[in-house]
A and B are shown apart, each in its own frame.
Chain A
C-alpha cells in the first residue's frame, strides 16, 4: 500500500485485516512484519521559511531533498541525523519519517539536542485510523501535551507519521576539528569532558581507540565564524595541553568527512557481528567498554554514546553490571534474533505505561513492537 494522502492512509489502516509494516526509505530495517505500508506517497516540502528557521514536509520526503533545500539557503538539520545504511548494509533512501520515528541524531546531539528537540510538530494516523496533529510550526508551544516527543523515536509503534515540522539552523561559516592522537579511553573521556565543560561550544566530541589511521584518535569539533574558530582553537589547545599534541583540521571537506565517519559509525561497516549502541554517563563509558570486551568500540557524545561491535548472539547488556544507562541492539545477526530484545527491557512500572500507550494508540495491535531490527 502506498497512500498518497492522509485520508487514504486513514482508510487503509481502518480496513487493515492484520499487522502492518511501516516503511519509509527502508534504510533502518525492522519495522515489523505484515503488509507493507509505504510512506513514499506522502512526500514533499510544504513550507519552508528560512527567516523563521522552520520547515514542514511530508514524512516520505527524502532527507537528501530536505538537505538540498536547506543548503540553498545556507541552513541545515543541526541534529545531524545518522544514516544507518553503512552499518546495516541496507539500500534505499533515508526519509524524514524514518529520521523522526527513530529519533536519528548525530554527534551534535551533545550541544544542540536530538531530532526530538528539533521536531516542532507532527501529523500522524493512529491504529484506529484517526488523523491526529500535535505541536505546530512555532518554536515555543506548550499548548497541551507534547505528543511530538512521544512520536519521536517511537519506531511507528503508536501511529504512522504523515508530516513533520522542524526547526532548522544556519550553517556556520566554518568548522574545524581538533585532534589528539594516542590517548587511552579514560584519558580521552577526561579530555573531552574538560573541553565540553569549557565555554568554547564544542559541537562534537568523539574517541576511536582504533581510528581511521589505525591508532587512537580523539576528535573535538568547533563551528562558527572564522574569528571564533581561531580564538577557540587556541584556547582549547591551552586548556588541553596536558593531554598531548593537538592538531587542527580546517579543511572543510576533510573535517566534514571525519564527523560523518563518527556519525554513521563507519568503523563498523562491513564487519561481522552484532552492533550495539549504549547510552551512559560519559565517565562510565570506558568502564563499560572494558566490561564489554567488544571487537570494536567507538565513543561519541563525549563518551556517553558507546558503539560496540560484539560477536554474534552476545547479550552485551549482561556485561553492564551496575552501570546506569541502556543498550540498544542496532544490528542483529540470526544468532541474536528472537533471543536478545532490541530495546533495553523496561522496569515493570514503565513497561506498564508503554503497554498502556500502545493499547490506546493502536487498539487492534496493527503496528509491531520494536523487536526485530535488520
Chain B
C-alpha cells in the first residue's frame, strides 16, 4: 500500500508541536512516547501499520477545537480515531500525523423519550447508546457487527449499518444532528432534535465522509421503541439462484423482514463444523427474521414459509422458542470466527443489485478456481451487501498478494453488475485505489471539491478515500504555499 512521503518539516517540528498540544490539554492526554504511540499504529486492518507523530485524547469539544487549531496553524495532518475498528484502514496513521482519539468523549448528554432522541458524545460505543435507553425499552437501530466496540464517531464517519438495516436504515437515516469541529478549530452545529435540515443537507454529506470534513464530537441520534418480539426462520435450498428468487418473492409479497441473511455452501459447512448449529448440508441457506407481537410474527412467518415452499426448500425450520431462534442465528453469527479457525481470510464488502446475485456467485466460483483460493460467501441478502471471505495462508509467500488481486477482481465485478465497491466498511486506504473503477474523474472531482470547502489544506485524514494520483495536487497545495 503506497502512502505519501511524510512531511519532513512536520517531523522536524515534533517537539514544538507536542509542546503546543501540552499547553492546551491535560498532561496525560498527549502521547508522544514512541513505545506508547505504537498502540495507535493501525486499526482493524492490521496488514498496514505506521506509528503516528503523536496521539491526543481530548475530553470535550473545546479541547478538540484547541487541538485542531494548533494543528491547522502548524500544518500538521490529523487522523481522527474512534475505537479503531475500521476494516478499511480509515484510521491508519501516517508518520507525520497527530492521531485525535475520541475515546474520552463518552458521556450521554441528554435523553428525551417524548421526542425520541438521545444526545451523546461521539466516543461512546454503539451498543452503549442502546444501553443508555433500554431501561425504557428503546434502542438505537444501526447495528454494525462491531457494535460492542465501535464508537458513534466512527459510525458517522463510515455511515455504518448492520444486519437490521433492511428495515431501520443505516447511520445517515438515524442521525439528527451533530456538533462538529472544522480543521481550523471552528465549531459548527448541524441539525438538532428536529427532523429537517434548512438549506443544504450538510449533515448528509458529513455522514460517511470518513473523518475528512470535520471531527464530530457530539451527536443527536434517533431512538426507537423496541419491537414486542422477533423470530427467525431458517430455509435451505439446493441452488443459489433459487434462494435468490425466494428473497425477491418475499420482498415482493409485501412482508418487510427485519433481516434476510444468505450463506453459501462453503460458508454453511465451515459454520456447521465450528458452531454445530444443526444447519442442513445444502447449496444456499437463508435466515429471515420478522418482528412484532406473537400473532403478527405468526402471520408473517406463515406467508414467508408459503413462499419458500414454492421454491422446494430442502429444509424449512421455524424457531418455536428463544432457544431455537438462538440456534438458527448461532451459525451465522459465528461465521467470521468459524472461517478464522480454518484459515487466514480477507473479508470483502461489495454491494450488488439483488437480481445479479446468482450471476455474481457463479463468477466468484470461477475466480476461486482461477486463483486457486477458496471463497465462502455470507451476506445481507435484503440489500445486496456481500461479504465474500477469501481464504489464504498468510505464511505462504505470495498468497496475500494473490488474495488481494482476487479481492480487487471481485469488487470490480460488483461495480460491473451495477453495484459498488463498499457497502458498509468504507473506502479508507483499502479501496482507495479502486475508486477509479466506480467513478469517472468528474465524479471524484465533485467529491474532492466538497473536501476543499471543509478542509482547504487537506489536513484531515488526507491520504484516504481518493486515489493518491487524483488527490496529489490538492495535498501538495499547502506545501507549495509555504
Query: Interface residues, chain A, CB within 8 Å of chain B?
Result: 49-54, 73-74, 103, 109-110, 113-114, 116-117, 126, 130-134, 136-150, 152-154, 157-158, 169-173, 190, 193, 196-199, 224-225, 227-228, 231, 279-283, 301, 304-305, 324-326, 328, 343-344, 346-347, 349-350, 353-354, 356-357, 360-361, 370
**Contact between A149 and B205, CB atoms less than 8 A apart:** yes
**Contact between B421 and A51, CB atoms less than 8 A apart:** no
Q: Measured between alpha carbons, how far is A113 from B196 in the docked complex, in Å? A: 10
**Contact between A140 and B353, CB atoms less than 8 A apart:** no
Closest chain B CB from A80 CB (angstroms): 14
**Contact between B199 and A147, CB atoms less than 8 A apart:** no
Q: Does B419 contact A (CB under 8 A)?
A: yes
Q: Does B271 contact A (CB under 8 A)?
A: no
Closest chain B CB from A181 CB (angstroms): 22
Given contacts A140-B423, A360-B449, 15 further A-B contacts (CB under 8 A): A49-B354, A51-B252, A52-B384, A74-B252, A110-B195, A136-B438, A140-B380, A144-B465, A145-B447, A152-B204, A344-B199, A347-B188, A356-B453, A357-B449, A360-B450
**Contact between B442 and A228, CB atoms less than 8 A apart:** no
Q: Does B409 contact A (CB under 8 A)?
A: no
Given the known interface contacts A143-B438, A227-B299, A228-B292, the answer about A350 and B204 at a Cβ–Cβ threshold of 8 Å is no
**Contact between B453 and A360, CB atoms less than 8 A apart:** yes
Query: Interface residues, chain B, CB within 8 Å of chain A?
Result: 112-117, 137-138, 158-159, 161, 165-166, 169-170, 172-173, 182, 186-190, 192-205, 207-209, 225-228, 247-249, 251-256, 292-293, 295-296, 299-300, 351-355, 380, 382-385, 418-427, 431, 435, 438-440, 442-447, 449-454, 465-466
A residues in contact with B165, CB < 8 Å: 139-140
Top 9 nearest A-B pairs (CB, nearest first) are A149-B204, A51-B248, A356-B453, A170-B254, A139-B383, A140-B423, A279-B196, A326-B198, A360-B449
**Contact between B254 and A142, CB atoms less than 8 A apart:** no
Residue of B nearest to A280 (CB): B194
**Contact between A328 and B198, CB atoms less than 8 A apart:** yes
Partner of A170, one of B203, B228, B256: B256
Residue of B nearest to A324 (CB): B192
Q: Measured between alpha carbons, how far is A132 from B447 in the docked complex, in Å? A: 10
**Contact between B207 and A51, CB atoms less than 8 A apart:** no
**Contact between B300 and A225, CB atoms less than 8 A apart:** yes
Residue of A nearest to B291 (CB): A199
Residue of B nearest to A144 (CB): B447
**Contact between B186 and A349, CB atoms less than 8 A apart:** yes
B residues in contact with A142, CB < 8 Å: 158-159, 208, 422-427
**Contact between B201 and A279, CB atoms less than 8 A apart:** no
Q: Measured between alpha carbons, how far is A225 from B438 in the docked complex, in Å? A: 40
A residues in contact with B255, CB < 8 Å: 170
**Contact between A343 and B199, CB atoms less than 8 A apart:** yes
**Contact between A283 and B296, CB atoms less than 8 A apart:** no
**Contact between B252 and A130, CB atoms less than 8 A apart:** no
A residues in contact with B454, CB < 8 Å: 353
**Contact between A282 and B299, CB atoms less than 8 A apart:** no
Residue of A nearest to B184 (CB): A349
Partner of B427, one of A143, A170, A325: A143
Closest chain B CB from A145 CB (angstroms): 4
B residues in contact with A190, CB < 8 Å: 114
A residues in contact with B226, CB < 8 Å: 199
**Contact between A52 and B435, CB atoms less than 8 A apart:** no
**Contact between B383 and A228, CB atoms less than 8 A apart:** no
Given the known interface contacts A138-B418, A142-B208, the answer about A52 and B354 at a Cβ–Cβ threshold of 8 Å is yes
Q: Measured between alpha carbons, how far is A304 from B117 in the docked complex, in Å? A: 13
B residues in contact with A344, CB < 8 Å: 198-199
**Contact between A141 and B351, CB atoms less than 8 A apart:** yes
7 sample A-B contacts, Cβ–Cβ < 8 Å, listed by A number: A140-B380, A142-B427, A149-B205, A197-B113, A228-B299, A325-B192, A350-B189
Given the known interface contacts A117-B169, A279-B196, the answer about A138 and B351 at a Cβ–Cβ threshold of 8 Å is yes
A residues in contact with B447, CB < 8 Å: 134, 144-145, 147
**Contact between A193 and B351, CB atoms less than 8 A apart:** no
B residues in contact with A224, CB < 8 Å: 296
**Contact between B423 and A172, CB atoms less than 8 A apart:** no
A residues in contact with B186, CB < 8 Å: 349
A residues in contact with B426, CB < 8 Å: 142
A residues in contact with B293, CB < 8 Å: 231
**Contact between A144 and B197, CB atoms less than 8 A apart:** no
Q: Measured between alpha carbons, how far is A137 from B228 in the docked complex, in Å? A: 33
Q: Measured between alpha carbons, how far is A77 from B423 in the docked complex, in Å? A: 23
Q: Measured between alpha carbons, how far is A283 from B110 in the docked complex, in Å? A: 15
**Contact between B198 and A343, CB atoms less than 8 A apart:** yes
**Contact between A149 and B172, CB atoms less than 8 A apart:** yes
Q: Measured between alpha carbons, how far is A16 from B265 in the docked complex, in Å? A: 58
**Contact between B383 and A140, CB atoms less than 8 A apart:** yes
Centre residue among A146, A282, A350 by max chain B CB count within 10 A? A146
Given the known interface contacts A132-B442, A360-B453, the answer about A346 and B198 at a Cβ–Cβ threshold of 8 Å is yes
**Contact between A143 and B254, CB atoms less than 8 A apart:** no
Closest chain B CB from A88 CB (angstroms): 18
B residues in contact with A143, CB < 8 Å: 420-422, 427, 431, 435, 438-439
**Contact between B199 and A357, CB atoms less than 8 A apart:** no
Q: Measured between alpha carbons, how far is A361 from B195 in the docked complex, in Å? A: 26
**Contact between A113 and B169, CB atoms less than 8 A apart:** yes
**Contact between B352 and A146, CB atoms less than 8 A apart:** no
